[in-house]
Amino acid sequence: MSYDLIAIGASWGGLLAVGTLLEGISTELEQPIVIAQHRSAESTRGALESLLQRHTKRPVCEPHDKDSIEASHVYVAPPDYHLLVEGGRFALSIEGRVQFARPSIDVLFESVAEAYRDRAIAIVLTGANEDGAAGLAAIKRNGGVGIVQDPRTAAKKAMPEAAIAASQADAVLPLEEIGQFLYGLCCL
């Protein structure tokens, strides 16, 4: 079994968590990594990209509408847009907030579930809301792999707990072990 895309959802406490997670992902993994991190609509342009770039050698960028999805890249959803994937490309939307969030993790995950089905991996990290739970359930329903940060190790545990409650996750792990788990899925 091989996988074509890794999607990550994070909210409160996510910046640190995503950074740690990226550090633990082997350079051998070539799957594109797509991140929906909740943040304010007014957040400074490019700030999240450069913060995350410190944690990985892969190029980190905010995709433009209809950009093609490239191997070994890290993509972060732009502030105040929903990020979706379709047919190897990104699509953006400014439809209403979902679970008070834009970007919404559910919107990203549901589009990944549909486009990548059993070739998708989705990871829910720390957060103080329930975004990502419905999305992770969609990933699982379509045959993909669902990973959740162990709530006991999360800065805010509501979001990983909601994800665990909504679907049968394939793994519930502390951040430091997720990279190894991904390596096992993708490289062994």
Partner 1 sequence: MPAGHLERGEELELEQLEVELLLEGIFRRYGFDFREYAPASLKRRLRRRMDGEHVETVSALQDLILHDPAVMERLLLDLSVNVTAMFRDPTFYLAFRQKVVPLLRTYPFSRLWVAGCSTGEEVYSLAILLAEEDLSDRVRVYATDINQAVIDVARLGVFPIEKMQEYTQNYIRAGGSHSFSEYYVARYDGARFARSLVDGVVFAQHNLASDAAFNEFNVVTCRNVMIYFAQPLQEHVHRLFYESLAMFGVLALGQKETIRFSPHESSFEELDAEERMYRKVR
Residues involved in catalysis: 11, 38, 131
Does 81 engage in binding with partner 1 (CB under 8 A)?
yes
Task: Between 111 and 149, name the residue whose CB sits nearer to partner 1.
Answer: 111
The region of 11-19, 48-56, 79-87, 125-133 touching partner 1 under the rule CB under 8 A is: 79-87
78 near partner 1, judged by CB under 8 A? yes
Instruction: Look at the alpha carbons of 35, 38, 41, 43 in this order and tell me if their dihedral is positive or negative.
Output: negative
Nearest residue (CB) to partner 1, 132 versus 179? 132
Residue from the set 61, 70, 97, 161 that interacts with partner 1 by CB under 8 A: 97
Rounded Cα–Cα distance for residues 148 and 5 (Å): 16
Instruction: Tell me which of 39, 58, 82, 157 binds partner 1, using CB under 8 A.
Output: 82
Site membership for partner 1, residue 69 (CB under 8 A):
no
Q: Does 66 bind partner 1 (CB under 8 A)?
A: yes
**61/185 Cα distance (integer angstroms):** 25
184 Cβ partners below 8 Å, 6+ apart? none
> Measured from the CB of residue 115, what is the shortest distance to partner 1 in angstroms?
7
Check binding of 119 to partner 1 (CB under 8 A). Answer: no
Nearer to partner 1, 82 or 157 (CB): 82
Ordered strands of the 60-61 beta sheet: 60-61, 74-76, 33-37, 5-10, 120-124, 145-149, 171-173
In the bound state with partner 1, the residue whose beta carbon lies nearer, of 52 and 85, is: 85
Which spans of this chain sit near partner 1 (rule: CB under 8 A)? 62-66, 78, 80-82, 84-87, 91-97, 107, 110-111, 114-115, 117, 141-143
